[in-house]
A and B are shown apart, each in its own frame.
Chain A
Amino acid sequence: DGGITQSPKYLFRKEGQNVTLSCEQNLNHDAMYWYRQDPGQGLRLIYYSQIVNDFQKGDIAEGYSVSREKKESFPLTVTSAQKNPTAFYLCASSILGVDQPQHFGDGTRLSIL
C-alpha cells in the first residue's frame, strides 16, 4: 500500500533540546512538504523540497531545519531556537506540478515538557 508515514505520533521535548520528526513516503513523489497546524489556523508551510539535496524555506522556517538526502525521506528537526514548538506537524508529498494534490501523513503532535 502506497502512502506517507510520520513518526512518532506523539513527541515531547525538553527545553533546549533538538528533536527530529520522521517522514517517509513510498509514492515515488518528487515534492515533499512540512506544515505546522495550530488550533484555529490554517496549515503554515515550514519547508518544501522538489528534488533530492534541495529545499526551500516556507513562511515559518525560523527555528527549523530539514534535509533531503533520499527521495523517500524528508526529516524535520525542531531546534531549540524554535521558541513555541508545541503544535501538530504534518508532512505531505505530491507529484511535481502546480495543480497536483498533496498526500498527507497522519501527523506528529509535539509538546514541551
Chain B
Amino acid sequence: SQKIEQNSEALNIQEGKTATLTCNYTNYSPAYLQWYRQDPGRGPVFLLLIRENEKEKRKERLKVTFDTTLKQSLFHITASQPADSATYLCALDPADDMRFGAGTRLTVKP
C-alpha cells in the first residue's frame, strides 16, 4: 500500500543545533516533494518544493534533500531557534491531489 512516513512524532533539540526531519514514502514515484510548517490551530504554510532532479535545495536556514533511490527526503533547519518550534509536514502529489505525512512536531529549547 502507499504510505508517507515521517520519522517521529516529536523531536526536541537545543537552540543553535541543526534539526533533521525525515520523510519516507512507499509505492509512490513523485516528481517532486513539498515541505510545510503548521503551528497549533493554524493551517499549514508552504516552505519548500524540491523536484526529483534536484538533489538538494536551500532557503535561508532551511535545506531539503530528495533521494528517489532511497525514497526519502530530509529536511534540515540549521542554527535552530525557539521560533522554529512547530509541526513540519511533507507532501507529495502522485496525481491531481496532494498526499501529506502526519508530521513531526519540533520543539527547540532555549
Residues of A within 8 A of B (CB): 4, 6, 33, 35, 40-43, 45, 48, 50, 56, 58, 90, 92, 98-99, 101-107, 109
Contact = CB atoms under 8 A, between A and B. Distances in A.
B60 interface: no
Contacts of B100: 35, 42-43
Given A42-B101, A42-B102, A42-B103, A92 B32 contact: no
B64 to A, nearest CB: 13
B49 A98 contact: no
Given A98-B31, A98-B93, A99-B49, A42 B43 contact: no
A105 B102 contact: no
Contact of B43 (A41, A48, A56, A106): A106
Interface in B63-105: 89, 93, 95-103
B43 A92 contact: yes
A104 B37 CA distance: 11
Contact of A101 (B34, B43, B95, B101): B34
